[in-house]
């Protein structure tokens, strides 16, 4: 193949983006469908521990390597009464969940969530309800969760069996309040004022909490950018992060644009950074607002695409109905890999990110009630990125052959990033070949990195791009060893299979 068909870039430790905040490998547990019930929590299951948590799921969550775990929603949080979810289980009320037209039993609540997060080695990221509630309920929840003792609410927590505070450091000020579907939907000014007053009160309890203001539900929202600008004008000195949410699927069957979804992710990030910095400049502030990309994933929002089960949809107001149970393909896994690359490439400003969600609901882990748990295709790129993507992101500016997509025009076939472990000097290169038809030759010049050994080339690709993992065939799709890659004279050379996610580990 001639050299113009080769994708190339140079790595040099003198050109780095930023250390990775490990919370970029976060996840999300919402009271939605079977994420909580039959997902993380199934007391009757043979693997359940004394708290009713499925230990087979706990093991997979640890293997996945998730860090911050956002809870309890999502749209659910906009009707959430935290008091319902604490205290003796049998006394907890059943409630209508307007967001998902379900019935919430509250058998899993705040204490169970914190127990779950501790067992998987994560950190809690708690959302407060700014849809149907406000400042008062937010600070009551904060007092219940975090105050040491000697007040009504902290003593109530102790009486409920949790003597030690939960010490939740990271809080979301509501969820997607720009969206007309949100219970308690608001204008940017209404939300900005409420978020500012809530943040101010929460900081009166604890000046060091880390707070996330709601940004737009996606970049295509009609209020995008104006929303961020207005909200930040109200909250700039009071919050640490602004949120971003984005979901992708092949709209109108346009697979090439779907594979290039990270083009949207990266422009979304860059546009939010520009907007936040514009507000900072107007306010003559030295402070920089960071980004919490706290919902991202592939989600077939039109209902197309295979599902985990063929069961017909449940009636309205069912408990833990099967909702949003996408069964992911190889193509979806490559897109998820590319979205992870997009987040890492912007590690200077994206400090928190949560794949939505963790179990069953648009999730990397799937379960059968009373049966096994298994890894969906998208589990693999996330687990590899979390395991090998810790360190400092190096600047990657590829020269790549391109192809044309309907949605994004001309797009590089190569999408890549690299992360250097500062202690060992090891470097991991993550690379996606977006082309469905052809292999992509890759050459990476490794300057001043002292790298001599190719430890591993792992590939996720398949002759059948629609191949999936199912309960009956849970390991149909998994990474395999690549062939033919070499590292000599400071140059990594490899050939990327068509439509592939690749991990090169160099020491």
**Quick one: 131 or 482, whose CB is closer to ligand AHR?**
131
According to DSSP, the β-strands at 402-405 and 409-412 are antiparallel
**Quick one: 111 or 243, whose CB is closer to ligand AHR?**
243
Which of 166, 169, 165 is CA-nearest to residue 241? 169
295 is catalytic: yes
Least distance in angstroms from the C-beta of 74 to ligand AHR: 3
Q: Are 301 and 251 in contact (CB under 8 A)?
A: no
244 binds ligand AHR (CB under 6 A): no
Q: Which of 266, 295, 325, 497 is catalytic?
A: 295
Q: Which of 176, 228, 325, 497 is catalytic?
A: 176
The only residue of 73, 122, 215, 398 in contact with ligand AHR, by rule CB under 6 A: 73
74 binds ligand AHR (CB under 6 A): yes
30 binds ligand AHR (CB under 6 A): yes
Least distance in angstroms from the C-beta of 30 to ligand AHR: 5
In the chain, the N- to C-terminal Cα span, in Å, equals 28
**Quick one: 99 or 496, whose CB is closer to ligand AHR?**
99
143 is catalytic: no
Least distance in angstroms from the C-beta of 177 to ligand AHR: 10
C-alpha to C-alpha distance for 234 and 90, rounded to whole angstroms: 42
Q: Are 253 and 329 in contact (CB under 8 A)?
A: no
| Residue 18 β-bridge partners | 393
| Residue 440 β-bridge partners | 496
- Write the DSSP assignment of 142-198 as a string of letters: HHHHH--SSSHHHHHHHHTT--S-----EEEE-S-TTSTTSTT---HHHHHHHHHHH
Residues 404-463 that bind ligand AHR (CB under 6 A): none
Extract the tokens encoding 467.
């191949």
Which of 421, 497, 492 is CA-nearest to residue 458? 497
Least distance in angstroms from the C-beta of 13 to ligand AHR: 38
Please tell me whether residue 460 adopts helix, strand or coil conformation: strand
175 binds ligand AHR (CB under 6 A): yes
Least distance in angstroms from the C-beta of 357 to ligand AHR: 6
The only residue of 38, 56, 137, 176 in contact with ligand AHR, by rule CB under 6 A: 176
Size of the site for ligand AHR (CB under 6 A): 11
Interface residue list for ligand AHR (CB under 6 A)? 30, 32, 73-75, 175-176, 217, 295, 356-357
Catalytic center residues: 176, 295
């Amino acid at each position: 193949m001639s050299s113009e068909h080769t994708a190339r870039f140079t790595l040099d430790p003198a050109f780095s983006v930023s250390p990775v905040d490990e919370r970029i490998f976060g996840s999300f547990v919402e009271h939605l469908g079977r994420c909580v019930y039959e997902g993380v929590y199934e007391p009757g299951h043979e693997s359940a521990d004394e708290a009713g948590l499925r230990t087979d799921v706990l093991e997979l969550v640890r293997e996945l390597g998730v860090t911050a775990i956002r809870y309890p929603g999502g749209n659910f949080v906009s009707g959430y009464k935290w008091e319902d979810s604490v205290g003796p289980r049998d006394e907890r009320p059943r409630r209508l969940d307007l967001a998902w037209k379900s019935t919430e039993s509250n058998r899993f609540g705040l204490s169970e969530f914190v127990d779950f997060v501790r067992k998987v080695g994560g950190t809690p990221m708690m959302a407060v309800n700014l849809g149907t509630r406000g400042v008062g309920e937010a600070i009551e929840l904060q007092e219940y969760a975090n105050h040491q003792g000697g007040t009504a609410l902290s003593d109530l927590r102790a009486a409920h069996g949790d003597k030690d505070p939960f010490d939740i450091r990271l809080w979301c000020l509501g969820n997607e309040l720009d969206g007309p579907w949100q219970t308690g939907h608001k204008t940017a000014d209404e939300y900005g004022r409420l978020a500012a007053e809530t943040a101010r009160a929460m900081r009166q309890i604890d000046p060091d909490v880390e707070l996330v203001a709601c940004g737009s539900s996606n970049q295509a929202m009609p209020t995008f950018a104006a929303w961020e600008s207005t909200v930040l004008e109200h909250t700039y000195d009071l919050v640490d992060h602004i949120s971003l949410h984005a979901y992708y699927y092949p709209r109108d069957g346009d697979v090439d644009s779907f594979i290039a979804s990270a083009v949207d992710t990266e422009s979304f990030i860059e546009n939010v950074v520009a907007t936040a910095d514009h507000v900072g400049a107007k306010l003559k502030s030295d402070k920089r607002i960071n980004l919490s990309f706290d919902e991202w994933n592939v989600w077939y929002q039109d209902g197309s695409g295979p599902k985990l089960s063929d069961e017909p949809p449940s009636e309205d107001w069912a408990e833990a109905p099967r909702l949003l149970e996408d069964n992911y393909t190889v193509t979806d896994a490559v897109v998820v890999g590319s979205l992870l690359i997009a987040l890492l490439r912007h590690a200077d400003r994206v400090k928190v990110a949560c794949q939505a969600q963790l179990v069953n609901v648009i999730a990397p882990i799937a379960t059968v009630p009373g049966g096994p748990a298994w890894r969906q295709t998208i589990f693999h790129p996330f687990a590899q990125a979390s395991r090998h993507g810790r360190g400092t992101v190096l600047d990657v500016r590829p020269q790549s052959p391109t192809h044309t997509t309907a949605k994004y025009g001309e797009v590089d076939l190569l999408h890549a990033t690299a992360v250097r472990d500062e202690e060992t000097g090891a470097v991991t290169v993550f690379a996606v070949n977006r082309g469905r038809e052809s292999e992509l030759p890759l050459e990476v010049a490794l300057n001043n990195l002292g790298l001599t050994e190719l430890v591993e080339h792992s590939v996720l690709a398949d002759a059948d791009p629609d191949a999936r993992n199912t309960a009956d065939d849970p390991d149909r799709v998994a990474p395999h060893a690549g062939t033919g890659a070499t590292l000599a004279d400071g140059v990594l050379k490899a050939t990327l299979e068509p439509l592939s996610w690749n991990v090169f580990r160099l020491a």
